[in-house]
Structure 1
Amino acid sequence: MNVEEIIKTEKKIPLPSRTIIHLSLVANKINEIITCSLKAYEMSLEQFNVLRILRGQKGKPANLSTLNERMITKMSNTTRLVDKLILKGFVDRSICPSNRRKVEIRITKPGEEILLELDKAMQKAEERILNNLNTKDLEELNKLLDKF
């Protein structure tokens, strides 16, 4: 990906600025591919993330605070995401019997089933995104990204 070609400039961009622009362009491309992969399932990346978090709970309920903490994209409208997933039948929400102020959220069987399909779609998207990188490249890239 040539930054100068993409943003259509002939001027030399200072390395720090070029790096930030490059990271932004790569992030946008990754997001575009993933969003396209999930669109066939009428699922947003954030909804997918909520389902994965709930699956990771291994049957234990999560609350909105837990979801917010573990979200890749931090947002304040987690309640709305959960509401949409409830309408789709992928999660359910109940009041905690021991603490009526606490709301418990769990993934449903249909939610687990759609997540298996989404896992396959995401694997294909990841392969498409990373097709030019080998294992050594990925390890090196992750070391560099860890420095952030």
Structure 2
Amino acid sequence: MKELEDIIKTKSEITLAKKTVLNVSLTSVNFKDAISNVLKPFDISIEQFNVLRILRGQHGKPTNLQDIQDRMVSKMSNTTRLVDKLIIKGFVERFICEDNRRKVEIFITKQGLEALNIIDPKVLSTETELTEILTTEELNTLNTLLTKLRK
């Protein structure tokens, strides 16, 4: 009888685990869709937006493709392609390092910074709307739990 109770308990834990993973996945998709809709009028993707924020965080100092890749939220992104698209839009510049010709340095442009100044409040507003149903305490708990799941 004890074995049956253990099996039932294990099955409900598995069901709860699946439910949790599904809920987190569905919520992630909803969040991504909402943020993508905000970025659509600016003709940039979430990944491109992430690259711009990473470059802004450099405060005018150059960075390279590997450092950008390491800081990306989505590690599956093709950083070279993302940077190339941002160069075409005028948001980013790429230079060959004078000291080391094999090293490529990437900077955000004034136009890229200006775009972020316009986009950031819209993204923040959407993030606030997406989470406003939760209290500050609930948001803190959720963040703690999600961080714990990633470790």
Give your verdict on TM over 0.5: yes
Residue 75 of structure 1 deviates from its aligned partner by: 2.5
Give the gaps of 5 or more residues in structure 1: 1-11
The answer to whether 1:91 aligns with 2:84 is no
Q: Distance in 2 between matches of 1:79 and 1:145?
A: 30
Residue 109 of structure 1 deviates from its aligned partner by: 0.2
**Deviating 4+ runs (over 3 angstroms):** none
Q: Give the equivalent residue in structure 2 for 1:75.
A: 76
Give the gaps of 5 or more residues in structure 2: 1-11
What SS class does the counterpart of residue 147 from structure 1 fall into? helix
Aligned residue pairs, count: 137
Residue 76 of structure 1 deviates from its aligned partner by: 4.9
Q: Distance in 1 between matches of 2:146 and 2:78?
A: 28
Report the TM-score when normalising by structure 1: 0.89
Q: Give the equivalent residue in structure 1 for 2:26.
A: 25
Report the TM-score when normalising by structure 2: 0.87
The answer to whether 1:124 aligns with 2:131 is no
String of CA shifts for 1:27-71, please: whole Å, max 9, x gaps: 110011011111111110000000000000000001000000000
What SS class does the counterpart of residue 25 from structure 2 fall into? helix
What is the percent sequence identity of the aligned residues?
Answer: 52
Q: Which has the larger radius of gyration?
A: 2
Q: Distance in 2 between matches of 1:37 and 1:63?
A: 28
Q: Which amino acid aligns with 1:100?
A: R
